[in-house]
């Protein structure tokens, strides 16, 4: 199987590529990434180095905005399945750099979709986000509820889902993946757990919004990549959307207490609530569990401990 993974130096993309490269099925994996400096390039390059150890992995430094390069790559490699994880991430980055989300998440996605339509792609998986839901009052949220994103990032993901339904290739199956707060080893240093650990190591005051009075449906990376691998081999209708979540919201204040205990670090300062962020995320996962027969999610705090162990070894990358 010839598989394209965009954003292959990112957290989910690199973790999933490694999962496939270690599977019994010898897939040919091509990864592309623009290796931007949104966060540590050292971390991205280290993730990439792990993948380059495999003979059946090939990397190309390509931005989704570079349409001619994409077209040349598709002509050369004859892909059957696409996993699109390339996007500008970071909800708090929205206020200072909205143009990055428009460029990457709108135009970049458009280019990839348009180029892929010229070729016999069987399945096109693309990353969406829990941010499409915005604030809700009834939980857990299912894939069928109306979407009211609170920021450009969430809006860009909602637009991607709608754009696929308007502009598609007839014989390709399109599967949207609404990820809920993925965490774990090799994760993004701008997200809460690794960010807290880094502040603790450097003895820098850690600022927390609304005294940590938020809930997040944390989903461990090992569970995510196992779900994706199982999902890849399933049959689909024309368009499908799945929540990728543990259905296990964690109170941020309680998580911070745990991290403070593990690190003996207590320099935390409160900030007012950021209006562009949802108060709570909690996804219903009945649809995905039924599709792939998966129900063994990792213990949350054991997974946090593994993440801490990884940081202790690799903090120099952040």
User: What positions carry a catalytic annotation?
Assistant: 153
Collapsing DSSP to helix, strand or coil, 159 comes out as helix
What is d(CA 131, CA 152) in angstroms, rounded to the nearest whole number?
A: 10
307 near 193, Cβ under 8 Å?
yes
Q: Is 312 left (phi over 0), alpha (psi -120 to 50) or beta?
A: alpha
308 near 197, Cβ under 8 Å?
yes
Peptide bond into 176 cis (omega under 30): no
84 φ, ψ (degrees, to nearest 5): -100, 105
Residue (of 154, 183, 179) closest to 255 by Cα position: 183
């Amino acid at each position: 199987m010839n598989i394209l993974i965009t954003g292959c130096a990112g957290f989910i993309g690199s973790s999933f590529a490694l999962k496939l490269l270690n599977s019994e099925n010898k897939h040919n994996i091509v990864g592309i990434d623009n290796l931007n400096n949104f966060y540590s390039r050292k971390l991205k390059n280290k993730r990439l180095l792990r993948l380059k150890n495999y003979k059946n992995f090939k990397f190309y430094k390509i931005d989704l905005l570079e349409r001619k390069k994409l077209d040349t790559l598709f002509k050369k490699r004859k892909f059957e399945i696409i996993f699109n994880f390339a996007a500008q991430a970071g909800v708090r980055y929205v206020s200072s750099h909205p143009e990055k989300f428009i460029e990457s998440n709108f135009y970049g996605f458009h280019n990839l979709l348009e180029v892929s339509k010229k070729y016999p792609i069987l399945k096109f998986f693309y990353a969406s986000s829990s941010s499409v839901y915005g604030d809700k009052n009834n939980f857990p949220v299912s894939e069928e509820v109306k979407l009211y994103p609170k920021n450009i990032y969430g809006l860009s993901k909602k637009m991607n889902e709608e754009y696929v339904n308007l502009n598609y290739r007839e014989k390709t199956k399109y599967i949207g993946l609404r990820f809920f707060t993925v965490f774990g080893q090799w994760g993004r240093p701008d997200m809460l757990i690794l960010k807290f650990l880094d502040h603790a190591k450097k003895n820098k005051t850690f600022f927390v919004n609304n005294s940590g009075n938020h809930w997040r449906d944390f989903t461990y990376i090992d569970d995510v990549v196992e779900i994706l691998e199982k999902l890849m081999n399933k049959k689909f209708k024309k368009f499908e959307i799945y929540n990728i979540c543990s259905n296990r919201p964690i109170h941020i204040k309680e998580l911070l207490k745990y991290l403070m205990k593990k690190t003996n670090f207590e320099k935390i300062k409160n900030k007012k609530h950021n209006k562009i962020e949802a108060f709570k995320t909690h996804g219903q996962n009945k649809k995905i569990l039924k599709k792939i027969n998966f129900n063994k999610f990792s213990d949350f705090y054991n997974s946090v401990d593994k993440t801490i162990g990884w940081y202790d070894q690799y903090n120099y990358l952040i």
